[in-house]
Every structure is written in structure tokens, then in C-alpha cells.
Structure 1
């Protein structure tokens, strides 16, 4: 006899779990299904740290170049502007791929929750990288213009 009563058919489509009277009832896990629970996922903000750090380093180098007495004809100006551009433009933007890979994997796992502060960190990182790349590219342009 089915534990669900006569309203559910003949009992062929329902498994008899017994009537042992135990207070805890657990649904059986279908064969091939995972027994884990669905976990909440959100953006992997830790993966943004390398890009954020490189953007800040590039901005610091660019500000030192711009606000110091260093001129575009100095050799240290050239080196610092190229390092600032490489840090933000090449390495920083490439490091963003770590975030995109991890974020795509988390979105594919199931329930994905958008957290506002994590989204703000993402947009701040993108904005800082953009400013750092443009600022260092302008400095490189000033150096090339003085050749």
C-alpha cells in the first residue's frame, strides 16, 4: 500500500517507504543525481585583485611621471611610462581573464546571485584599468613626440 493513500493511484508509480513511524523522512536520491545541495554562487571578487593592484601600480607610476620634475626626454620617463602601460594594458587586462573564467564557471553551476558590492568592485577595476591605460598611453605619446 502506498503511504500517500488511495488518491495517488494504484501505488505502482510510488515507492513504499514503509510506515515505521520515524519522525524524519528523507526523499530518496534518484540514480545519477547528485546528493549535494544547491549552493549560492556570486562573482569571484578575489580574482579581480591582480588587475586592481596592477591598475593602482600603473596609476602611481603615471602620477609620479606627471607630477614630478621629470620630462619626456629623460630616460626614466620612458621606462616608467612603458612599465605603467604594460602593467595596466597588457598584464592587468590579461589578468581580467582569470575573473571572467571563474565567473563563467560559477554562473554555470546553478543559482547565481549578483551582489552589489562585488559588482562595484568589478566596475571600479575596469574604470581604473581604463584610466591607467589611457594615462600611460598619453605619456608614451609625449615621449615619442619629443624624439
Structure 2
């Protein structure tokens, strides 16, 4: 997996690698909403959450930990109840809101996590918000 290191030392997956990681993490998932939620995470900041979940085994957010094939959405919901557990020292303090918003939307799609869409819309840049809405609309086709 190739990693791009920006000037801020924030590691980001390059787009094709984020897509490859998403394919790996939906390989054994039959639930369409969970697949769509994983794809949403792949496109947000070039796979930020998928990379964190696979690299930080202490989060216990992928299954199985040694060769991940799916996101552990139950665990993601637990993590969202205490956002301090998801703090990232590589990101400027106070700038986790868009990251948490997209993770909340994905957890809502995959596992019914309650999410305040108004708050998410305020926290996400327009491009990320439109992409999230698109994924939610296509996931609704399979409800």
C-alpha cells in the first residue's frame, strides 16, 4: 500500500489505494448498507478512517485484526460515543469535526447509529456533504 506524506506529516492513502482498501474491507460483507458505508469512508479524505482502522489495531474497528475483511460497525458505534478515543494527534486540535461527521454518517448507514444531519452538514465541506448524500441515496435503494 503506498502512502503519501504531506507537509503536515498527516499520512493519507492515495486514491487508488483507498479504493483497494475499501474493496478488501467489503470483500466478505453481504449487507449493502455496510458496503456503501465502507465506500463512503474510502472516499473521505482518501481513506482516512479505513487507514486508521487498519493501522491502529487498538481501535478494534476492523475484523479480523490480522487480515481485515470488514469494518466492525458495532465497535465504530461504541467509539463514536466517546470521540476522545478517536482523537488523532496528527490532525490540528479542534479540526476533527468533519472526520467525526462522516464517520457518524457511515455508522448510521451501516449500523443505525443516530446522526444529526443538520450538524453534519454544518461540519462537512460541500463536496464531502454531496458525496455522503449520494451514497445515502444509493443505499436507500436497498432498504
TM range, smaller chain: under 0.3
Point out the structure with the larger strand share: 2
Q: Which has the larger radius of gyration?
A: 1
TM-score (normalizing by structure 1)? 0.23
TM-score (normalizing by structure 2)? 0.23
